[in-house]
Structure 1
Amino acid sequence: MCGRFALTSSPKEVDEAFSLPELEAFPPRYNIAPTQPILMVMAGEPRQPGSNLPDRTSLLVRWGLIPTWVKDTRSFPLLFNARSESASEKASFRTAMRHRRALIPASGFYEWRQDGKKKGQPFWIRPRDGGLIAFAGLMETYAEPGGSEMDTGAILTTQANSDIAHIHERMPIVIHAQDFSRWLDCRFQEPRDVADLLRPAEQGFFEAIPVSDLVNKVANTGPEIQDRIDPALVQEQPRSEKKKNPPNDDQMSLF
């Protein structure tokens, strides 16, 4: 699964990677959690004749997809991940998989090695060569009973490759730049036409860096949560002595 990720690249870097010339400014975000707003890239309206830019648009969505048929969101589970192997058949994701595929810009993600029933050692998992990546995502617009609408989304996951499997059995799907347009094209590319993209990242693409348990708390939003540690040297400290960061308002609102 993927329950935390980061987007620390500048708006200019995101613009260059995803061809989003109208992208607004936003701060680096080191600890993005479910229910918070995330940036998604989707196919937009066709551009003017002669333009060599792809037809893409960006939007903020709530991380946690809500299908249109849900009556009571309070009793509905938080769908921040979607299993790619069954997304085309599952009622919660089937429509979005056909009509609203998206890209989610990211710098990497966090995963925890399980220790029994508890969260164990956390890892910051990033591209070995650095730079931006794009997770495969799904978007759904939920109409609330009062009439307001809310854009929501989920990250598609698949079986982890050998680089990640010793930490967790699942990982987010990465869509490479040469496949952006095909993945986003919901007018002519049906789910079966892009099924070949729903695969683990190639071996060696990611590196897993052990980090401290600062990342466990959503309130910790600074770059220090990505600092490498030596797990063998980490000793349990009294709770009152652990480093605390004040909540960062920028974390809760992308723009």
Structure 2
Amino acid sequence: MLRPVRADRADRRTTSPRSTAPLGRRLPLVAAAVVAAGLTAACGPSSEPAGSAAAATAGQSSQAFPSESATASAEASPTASASPSASASPSSSSSPTPSRAPSGSTSSAGGSAKPARTSAAPAPAKVPGPGYDSSADAQKLIDAALRSAKADGRMVLLDFGANWCGNCKAADKVFAQSQTAGILGASYHLVKVDIGGNSSANSALLRKYSPSGGTYTMPVLVVVSPSGTVRTDTHVTGNPSLTSEGINSFLRKWAS
């Protein structure tokens, strides 16, 4: 009975060195595979074929260390979520701003711009009625007419006459006609001065604007510029014919 047991022990002593020697050689290989798997998980997927032993070992090692891959994905996720907002902001800011058309011009369907409106013509000046007002302050009326002439560029027409003068009445009839009244209102400020009475002030105004003296043939028509300069004096040149054609021609000639 004792001999078989010794033989068993002898067999174990002979076989145990043989079995431990291959195990010692396999341990470095397993350690190398674990290190390779860690490098694969850190640097990215392996370029080895799917059936190789290195890929299989890497798969086992990645399952053994899930914390590193989860940390890497958690660190990468904020960057990925922030990238859409960063890409969306330029598109919203780069949207074209509609241009406004100039307020002074309006384009038509054909693309041409409508011309700007011109300013309205000034209102015609007031034309006094027939006759001469002996009670009026002629100097104030002339001063007001000159101020208005400086403002609108019209001429001042001084009409020296008398209510008993037949030629003055003929001129008044022409002044009342629509065509002549239109010329007067557009181009003149008319001031009528009575020289048929005993007004020394009005007689002085006649001599001021018609200083040639002598016997005056009424009506005396004097055209004065806005600056107060006499342009024409009918006491010197003679009156035009007291018709619409004569007076209108006279008014048009000295209107500018």
TM over 0.5: no
For CA contacts below 8 A with separation 6 or more, give which structure has more relative contact order: 1
Q: Greater share of strand residues, 1 or 2?
A: 1
TM-score range, shorter chain: under 0.3
TM-score by structure 2 length? 0.22
